[in-house]
């Protein structure tokens, strides 16, 4: 199931011109306030009719200005989740979930409530739930309407850090188990790094970059500030702990160690390594305090300024960018294809918010 969008719309002085494709998985629409994310959301949901363009879901046209076609929101099979849960306060959780679910309720509710961890809340009213629980019920209600596509507009931004941390694993589960594509609007890069498979970067009404998350975050192109560029790697916890450090394995089996408290005990998750925290050595360094020294191959060198260079390294089964000084790059005589060692000063869990 793929959503294809190519629209233009103006409000007074604001002009939106957006074209991108949202494939299976989570496509995050990321950009500063006022960049046009919510306008795109409304156009996809059918709440706004763009001036020009088209929107297609797996070949079915939802909107086409040239053909004069605009399918009504209720016929688009879009499930919507907003910043606020928007539950009916006088109805129980079960009644809220039943709303809009029709005959599908008894067949799908047990699986969806289990997936979102809300089965024990069915008899309560929304007022007796935490913000995170209310938002999980709102997601359950959207899923029970049997959508072909889920639209989520900053679903965590009204929650505090503790509630956000509580709900993120449920969203990961939704991404991995629900099997429907999700468009996820956010201006939190930590959230996006943790959840997204595809990243669409917006600025001033334009798409300034779009592609697979790992590629977009390791790129030095426009849109992301340099401080944010870095690797996002899949790791698995082995259960091994030594000296207060937990062992994780990168996808090619290379071990990497993280302080015990900052890594989950088990399972697979994403690890973020900022490019500014990666050093390069030609030989295995001796007497160094850094924990993680990974064999690597130089893929490319991109000058960032007179003083700095971004080196893309192949290491640990992925690509790890390193931001080093031009002077060091020259001193090490680095070039594509060279075998080196990447020294990771610090790594953090992606989405540690
Ligand atoms: N109905 C409207 N009438 C006039 N201008 C509008 C309307 N809706 C949005 N705008 C303007 O369009 C621009 C883009 O707004 P939009 O809400 O799409 O941005 P956003 O990226 O979602 O921002 P935020 O992250 O703050 O929600 C803004 O300048 C906004 O003021």
Give the pLDDT confidence of 298-345 residue by residue, as tens digits.
Answer: 999 988 888 999 999 999 888 899 999 999 999 999 999 999 999 987
Domain 230-348 has CATH 3.40.50.11540: no
Best residue among 39, 51, 157 to mutate for probing ligand 1, ranked by most atoms within 8 Å of CB: 39
- Quick one: tokens of 110? 């047990």
Under the banding of pLDDT at 50, 70 and 90, the label for residue 353 is very low
Please identify, by atom number, the ligand 1 atom nearest to the C-alpha of residue 42: 18
- Confidence band (pLDDT; 50, 70, 90) for 348? low
Residue with CA closest to ligand 1 atom 31 = 34
State the distance from the centre of ligand 1 to the C-alpha of 14, rounded, in angstroms.
8
pLDDT at 206: 95
- Residues 6 or more apart whose Cβ sits within 8 Å of residue 72: 46
Residue 154 has pLDDT above 80, yes or no: yes
Question: Three-state SS for 264?
Answer: coil
According to the model, what pLDDT value does residue 224 have? 61
Phi, psi of 126 (to 5 degrees): -55, -35
Residue 102 phi, psi dihedral angles, 5° rounding: 60, -145
Q: Residue 319: which residues within 8 A CB-CB, separation 6 or more?
A: 214, 218, 231, 299, 312, 313
230-348: same fold as 3-211? no
Characterise 23 by phi-psi region: left (phi > 0), alpha (psi -120 to 50), beta (else).
Answer: beta
- State mean pLDDT over 194-214: 90
Residue with CA closest to ligand 1 atom 2: 11
Fold of 3-211: Rossmann fold (3.40.50)
Ligand 1 contact via 187 beta carbon (within 6 Å): yes
At 67, is the pLDDT very low, low, confident or very high (cuts 50, 70, 90)? Answer: very high
Residue 273 has pLDDT above 80, yes or no: yes
pLDDT (tens digit, 9 = 90+) per residue, 218-246?
Answer: 765 555 666 667 888 888 888 888 888 88
Residues 137/91, Cβ–Cβ less than 8 Å: no
Model confidence at 146, in pLDDT bands (50, 70, 90)? confident
Which residue ranges make up each domain of the chain?
3-211, 230-348
Residue 227: the pLDDT is: 65
């Amino acid at each position: 199931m793929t959503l294809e969008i190519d629209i233009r719309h103006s409000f007074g002085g604001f002009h939106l011109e957006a074209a991108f494709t949202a494939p299976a998985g989570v496509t995050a629409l990321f950009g500063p306030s006022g960049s046009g994310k919510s306008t795109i959301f409304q156009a996809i949901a059918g709440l706004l009719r763009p001036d020009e363009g088209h929107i297609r879901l797996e070949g079915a046209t939802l909107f086409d200005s040239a053909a004069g076609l605009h399918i009504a929101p209720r016929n688009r099979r879009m499930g919507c989740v907003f910043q606020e849960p928007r539950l009916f306060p006088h109805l129980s959780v079960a009644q809220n979930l039943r709303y809009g679910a029709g005959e599908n309720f008894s067949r799908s509710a047990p699986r969806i409530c289990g997936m979102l961890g809300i089965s024990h809340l069915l008899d309560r009213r929304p007022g007796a739930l935490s913000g995170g629980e209310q938002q999980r019920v709102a997601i359950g209600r959207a899923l029970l309407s049997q959508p072909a596509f889920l639209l989520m507009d900053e679903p965590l931004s009204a929650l505090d850090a503790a509630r956000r941390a509580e709900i993120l694993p449920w969203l990961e589960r939704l991404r991995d188990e629900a099997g429907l594509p999700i468009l996820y609007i956010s201006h939190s890069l930590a959230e996006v790094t943790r959840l997204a498979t595809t990243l669409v970067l917006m600025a001033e009404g334009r798409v300034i970059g779009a592609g697979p998350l790992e590629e977009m975050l390791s790129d030095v192109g426009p849109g992301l500030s340099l401080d944010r560029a870095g690797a996002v790697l899949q790791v698995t916890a082995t259960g091994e702990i030594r000296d207060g450090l937990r062992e994780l394995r990168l996808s090619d089996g290379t071990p990497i160690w993280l302080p015990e408290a900052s890594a989950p005990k088990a399972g697979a998750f994403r690890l973020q390594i900022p490019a500014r925290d990666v050093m390069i050595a030609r030989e295995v360094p001796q007497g160094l305090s850094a924990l993680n020294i990974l064999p690597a191959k130089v893929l490319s060198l991109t000058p960032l300024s007179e003083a700095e260079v971004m080196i893309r390294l192949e290491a640990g089964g992925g690509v790890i960018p390193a931001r080093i000084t031009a002077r060091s790059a020259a001193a090490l005589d680095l070039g594509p294809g060279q075998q080196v060692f990447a020294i990771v000063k610090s790594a953090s869990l992606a989405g540690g918010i």
